[in-house]
Structure 1
């Protein structure tokens, strides 16, 4: 059961949103309904300005993949952060994460290359993972085309995108490149399962809430990992992975989030392997805090802190 003492720590700004989602009927929504609700969580707001935005495509594993480059003001070449959006592998696109990418670009001083990877259930695992790693390799080989410095290449993302950032960093390590300078994983999913350990299950249930609950997460996983054995792939269990040699990392969980505990455990796992790691728990914040900074002012300091820390690592 959710721990009421933890839920009491929710920042008051988010209480109406929690109440709104608590009133939603328990009947599981369809995929189109889920996507519409997700878009609703990314409300229209004044756009942060960046130096330039360029849309492009690259030849992905199964056809062209769209990317969007957010380029800072000033003179490059700039470090390049390849960004993977969240959405449980079944939602999200370049538009839902526009505000997040603008903030990350402005506060880090880096180019942010956002990736529009394929989604389930139309494109089940490993489609999104393959597109994401292909985007990382493409950005590393073509950074000069959009003002980037290929010697300073990073990965970032939120939720499913945080998972993909960790996945790409580990895969780059195993496959001999590209070299990754820094990693930012915001509210990341670090264990897909099943089976989940008792600790992971207990941690998720303790912070189960109306905005993102354990049932919803299970539905996302089932829609993307359509063969249950795929979700159990050891390569996707980052808490059991050899993470030695990964780049300096920032793990940024939200306090009021089902993924909080495994984010904390991921930071401990990286530290134990000798990876320089910063754990930045966004106190009182919810799963979507990094994307709604222009609508919920309480979220902005936490997102700015993580983005600036990432920029510092990228320029080190």
Structure 2
């Protein structure tokens, strides 16, 4: 039997934002995630030696980004994409996640502030993620990086961008040492509103509501990202629909047991394995979507996130 919901997280759920799609607007979603980050300002962030705002090339111009690192020697480099349903989230809301990546993997981490919908709809965020990755790879000497040890990482919608960027890198001949996909969105066909598509992933019904991220909020997010529902079949937003996953970088895939995205994340891990890709999978028993951001409060969340980052560190250290 899977573990029950972590009791610490059970008490936190009522305090979390992004739970009412009937009244949510893009700006309110952004404001609520930023307010959650601001509420933790009294808790010192994990210490990192260098934190510097930079710019990287996006799909249609320069993008704000933030570089994190410890030390000054050659190190792995990770391009990180924040979550927030493509619509919300930014460099501030995911600052602690980026810092933990630096501390636990030893990598230089570059967090990218991609364009968001509804101002820029699909494929804008994907194009920014891939362009930023290409730009960072071209500038590795500037960042102290090692070309044989480059990875991509992201959570939720950022996990979706990391997965699709890894596909684009494979097709462009860019060798990645690894990809860290944290409770990623992998199949947007039907915009989370089509009963037949939803039935393929039982977690969309089992965890439809009550555990922070709801199926209805995912419908709201994907509706804002995709101007046309037909775009859901495009691998650049639904990597599970890619014609081939062969030849992709080794992956660490995490899901959360009490998350509507659980089964599509697990399905992607299995599809990668079936294509011959090395995969380390973490099921996140007892946890909810967003648990990588709850490690300060929940021992279970912190331990599971640390296990995933440790697996990712192995991939980065091994290189290509």
Same fold (TM over 0.5): yes
Q: Secondary structure at the match of 1:189?
A: coil
State the shift of 1:38 in Å. 2.3
**Following the alignment from structure 1 to structure 2, what is the Cα–Cα distance between the partners of residues 123 and 198?**
26
What does residue 14 of structure 1 align with? 9
**Alpha-carbon shift at residue 201 of structure 1 (Å):** 4.6
| Matches of 1:226 and 1:25, distance apart in 2 | 21
What pairs up with 1:83-162 in 2 under 5 angstroms?
Answer: 83-162=80-159
Give the drift of 1:198. 4.7
1:33 maps onto 2:28 in alignment: yes
Paired residue secondary structure (1:285) = coil
Distance 1:271 1:85, change over 3 A: same
Q: 1:49 to 1:173 in 2, by over 3 A?
A: same
Match of 1:254, SS? Answer: coil
Across the aligned residues of Structure 1 and Structure 2, the Cα RMSD in angstroms comes to: 2.1
Q: Distance in 1 between matches of 2:304 and 2:297?
A: 14
- How many residues are matched? 309
The whole-number CA distance in structure 2 between the counterparts of 1:112 and 1:232 is 31
Following the alignment from structure 2 to structure 1, what is the Cα–Cα distance between the partners of residues 247 and 235?
A: 18
Displacement after TM superposition at 1:25 (Å):
6.4
Deviations 1:74-94 (A, max 9, x none): x42100011000010100110
In the alignment, is the contact (CA less than 8 A) between 1:172 and 1:179 conserved in 2? yes
1:145-168 per-residue CA deviation (whole Å, 9 max, x = no partner) reads 021112211000000000001100
Asked if the contact 2:8–2:297 (Cα under 8 Å) also holds between the matched residues in 1, the reply is no
Q: Which deviates the most, 141-150 or 55-64?
A: 55-64
Of 187, 192, 201, the match for 2:188: 192
Matches within 5 A, 1:222-261: 222-241=223-242, 242-261=244-263
Q: 1:250: Cα distance to partner?
A: 0.5
Alignment map for 1:60-71 (pairs within 5 Å): 60-71=58-69
Alpha-carbon contact 1:46-1:294 (below 8 Å) kept: no
Alpha-carbon contact 2:201-2:264 (below 8 Å) kept: no
Q: 1:218 to 1:26 in 2, by over 3 A?
A: closer
Shift of 1:298: 3.1
How does the TM-score come out when normalised to structure 1?
Answer: 0.91
State the match for 1:217 in structure 2: 218
Is this contact kept in 2: 1:84–1:132, CA < 8 A? yes
Q: Please, which runs of 5 or more residues in structure 2 have no aligned partner?
A: none
Instruction: Find the aligned partners of 2:238 and 2:57 in 1 and give their Cα distance.
Output: 29
Deviation of 1:20 after TM superposition, in Å, equals 4.3
Unaligned runs of 5+ in 1: none
